[in-house]
């Protein structure tokens, strides 16, 4: 298989991610089938794609004629057998539940042609396990787009245990062809790269707030202005959605209990349906369901040292490097493009002093257990 053999793409699931993946694929010239279980879901998805293309026309990034051509390349289809006919690549973006994915792959396998390659947009489920449900584990890969796919430049590419190398090459090429930047996550680990760093941080920020008894805006200001994050951690969790954070937590923790120290507050917010911006309340309260920034200031940042938050981020990042999941360069690229970090994470570690970061982890480990034990890469880190 090679990238040149990919012409027709079928995207399964037309929700938050699927419609965006369909759009960027059509913009790259592919012929796309978008499949969902109800026509009304597809109608909504096609409306969103039309709206998104019209915005690009408005901003003069596309001509109306090109927008029309792109839109015409996407065919919405409910019937699965018809949707899979002739597909060179399937990209699955159905809800994040292993039982559903199992059902979907069994169904897909009964209709897909032998040539069809499989990719899943899962954020947290094991690629190897999903691949094993299919007739083609050697031609199955994780393609983790970020939300919204139309805007976010990063795609993590995750081979499963049996994925062959030409499939990896095809996936890396495909991501570039759709105008995104791929980062190879060499091992199928819980959380892949970005979520492995991001999700545990949300929990740590809550622990920090409890331990240090400071307002959320103080921690968030420090994270933003002293750790070069695009926004605070509580703010980022609200923006992402506490449902996404909670489900990723459960999945990642069940795969590897060392990756996260769960704080019950996340589940509590999820159970209360305080899901962040989209419900008007998460860690913070919002006036409506429109995107709203929290007022964070440098002055407030100066009142708090976020070294524990930094230490947890650096420790998970170090684990990824020392376990051969990604290179340091790819780690920094993923955090920049996927989380919006304005400065390299390990440059911030140097600013705080690597030995101070390690000492913070050792102190926390002595009080709260082995989750905080510093990774050897960090212990040896000299910049
Ligand atoms: N939302 C995010 O921020 C985000 C980011 C990255 C990756 N992901 C991953 O992308 C995947 C999809 O997430 P989402 O947020 O787009 O979910 P979503 O709930 O918005 O959309 C899923 C869609 O799949 C449809 N569906 C259900 N069963 C189907 C089937 N058998 N065939 C075709 N369609 C079916 C649903 O009707 C729904 O429209 C998940 O694996 C998720 O982890 C989500």
Q: Is the CB of 96 under 6 A from ligand 1?
A: yes
Residue 120 has what pLDDT?
A: 98
Residue/partner pairs of 243-248 with CB below 8 Å, 24 or more apart: 243/270, 243/275, 244/123, 245/199, 245/202, 245/270, 246/270, 247/96, 247/124, 248/123, 248/124, 248/191, 248/195, 248/199
The atom of ligand 1 lying closest to the CA of 41 is: 39
Which residue's CA lies nearest to atom 38 of ligand 1?
15
Report domain extents, the chain. Answer: 3-184, 194-380
Does 123 qualify as catalytic in the annotation? yes
How far apart CA 284 and CA 70 sit, in angstroms, is 39
Query: Is this structure's pTM higher than 0.85?
Result: yes
Q: Is the CB of 155 under 6 A from ligand 1?
A: no
What is the DSSP secondary-structure string of 105-140?
HHHHHHH--TT-EEEE--SSS-HHHHHTTSS-GGGE
Residue 111 has what pLDDT?
A: 97
* Side-chain half-sphere exposure of 170, counting CA atoms within 13 A: 24
Q: Phi/psi at 229 (nearest 5 deg)? A: -80, 155
Torsion of CA 3, 36, 248, 109, to 10 degrees: -60
Residue 319 has what pLDDT?
A: 98
The three-point CA angle 169-172-176 to 5° equals: 135
Domain 194-380 has CATH 3.30.2290.10: no
Tokens, residue 183 = 């980062």
The CATH superfamily of 3-184 is NAD(P)-binding Rossmann-like Domain (3.40.50.720)
Integer angstrom CA distances of residue 213 from 205, 286, 310, 368 = 11, 23, 18, 17
Pocket test for ligand 1, best of 10, 12, 14, 16 (most atoms within 8 A of CB): 16
Torsion of CA 37, 43, 49, 52, to 10 degrees: -130
Select which of 96, 156, 235, 332 is catalytic: 156
Residues 272-307 have pLDDT tens digits of 999 999 999 999 999 876 778 999 999 999 999 999
Please give the distance, rounded to the nearest whole angstrom, from the Cα atom of residue 17 to the centre of ligand 1: 6
Residue 15 has what pLDDT?
A: 96
Select which of 144, 203, 246, 263 is catalytic: 144
Residue 378 and residue 354 in contact, taking contact as beta carbons nearer than 8 Å: yes
Residues 58-94 have pLDDT tens digits of 999 999 999 999 999 999 999 999 999 999 999 999 9
């Amino acid at each position: 298989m090679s990238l040149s053999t990919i012409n027709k793409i079928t995207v399964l699931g037309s929700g938050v991610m699927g419609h965006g993946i369909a759009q960027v694929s059509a913009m790259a010239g592919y012929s796309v089938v978008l499949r969902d279980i109800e026509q009304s879901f597809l109608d909504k998805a096609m409306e969103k794609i039309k709206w998104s293309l019209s915005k690009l026309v408005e901003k003069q990034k596309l001509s109306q004629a090109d927008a029309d051509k792109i839109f015409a390349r996407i065919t919405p289809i409910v019937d699965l057998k018809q949707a899979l006919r002739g597909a060179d690549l399937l990209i699955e973006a159905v809800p994040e539940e292993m039982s559903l994915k199992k059902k979907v792959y069994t169904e897909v396998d009964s209709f897909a042609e032998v040539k069809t390659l499989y990719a899943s947009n899962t954020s947290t489920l094991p690629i190897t396990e999903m691949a094993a449900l299919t007739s083609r584990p050697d031609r199955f890969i994780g393609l983790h787009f970020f939300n919204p796919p139309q805007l976010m430049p990063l795609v993590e590419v995750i081979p499963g245990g049996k994925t062959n190398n030409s499939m990896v090459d095809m996936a890396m090429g495909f991501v570039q062809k759709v105008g995104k930047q791929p980062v190879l996550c060499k091992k199928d680990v819980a959380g892949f790269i970005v979520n492995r760093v991001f999700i545990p941080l949300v929990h740590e920020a809550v622990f920090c707030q409890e331990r240090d008894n400071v307002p959320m805006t103080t921690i968030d200001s420090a994270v933003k202005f002293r750790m070069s994050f695009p926004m605070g951690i509580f703010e980022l969790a609200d923006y992402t959605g506490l449902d996404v954070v909670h489900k990723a937590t459960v999945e990642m923790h069940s795969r590897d209990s060392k990756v996260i120290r769960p704080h019950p507050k996340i589940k509590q917010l999820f159970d209360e349906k305080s899901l962040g911006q989209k419900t008007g309340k998460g860690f913070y309260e919002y006036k409506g369901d429109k995107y709203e920034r929290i007022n964070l200031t440098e002055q407030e940042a100066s009142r708090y040292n976020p070294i524990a938050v930094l230490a947890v981020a650096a420790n998970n990042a170090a684990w990824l490097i020392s376990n051969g999941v990604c290179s340091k360069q790819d780690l920094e690229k993923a955090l920049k493009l996927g989380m919006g970090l304005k400065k390299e994470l390990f440059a911030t570690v140097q600013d705080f002093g690597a030995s101070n970061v390690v000492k913070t982890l050792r102190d926390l480990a002595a009080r709260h257990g082995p989750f905080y034990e510093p990774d050897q890469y960090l212990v040896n880190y000299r910049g």
